[in-house]
Structure 1
């Protein structure tokens, strides 16, 4: 279940990750029925690289005066996060 959640989040922001499909290709197969779950070095490396790219993606753009900002946020007892779009 956590893999599906991570892939959903990462997939939403995939346009900011160059080569996302190539990087993540080993992870979605783990969610298929009938496939034995094996989290190896390849999957861990892909997971860490996607996390690193999500955290370091820089998107610079000028704000159009007529457009609204959207802030998406999430919080728990362990941390918080927000995205300005």
Structure 2
């Protein structure tokens, strides 16, 4: 049973290497604690990313934070996304129209300039459906300490996997 479990754990890929340079999709989210993003290709996860907000970012407007999450992901995965068509999903509906906006602050203008380097389209994705990036962005600053842990292993575990 142990060998079967070991085989299943090692053969089930969690992250995959990208195949070619097309069909990239980025999901972004932000919370009051940090940014979260997932890079996918053909419905398979290539990479996860998250980081805490810096002190100055804690004062940003919601619009700037959501745009900042997109910029965070694009900068991080530039080597995958630069020069390729990609779709960026965010749970902030108004970001779809950011390129058409006339009045932007300096930070937004700088970030829009960065967005223009990429061949990406920003689309709306409801927050409730954006579970993974939501979890990545909410990550606590302090690690959770576990005082007790109970693990139950059933005889039919390989069948359940």
TM-score by length of structure 1 reads 0.29
TM-score by length of structure 2 reads 0.18
The higher relative CO (CA closer than 8 Å, separation ≥ 6) is in 2
Q: Report which of the two structures shows the higher radius of gyration computed on alpha carbons.
A: 2
**Quick check: which one's strand share is greater?**
2
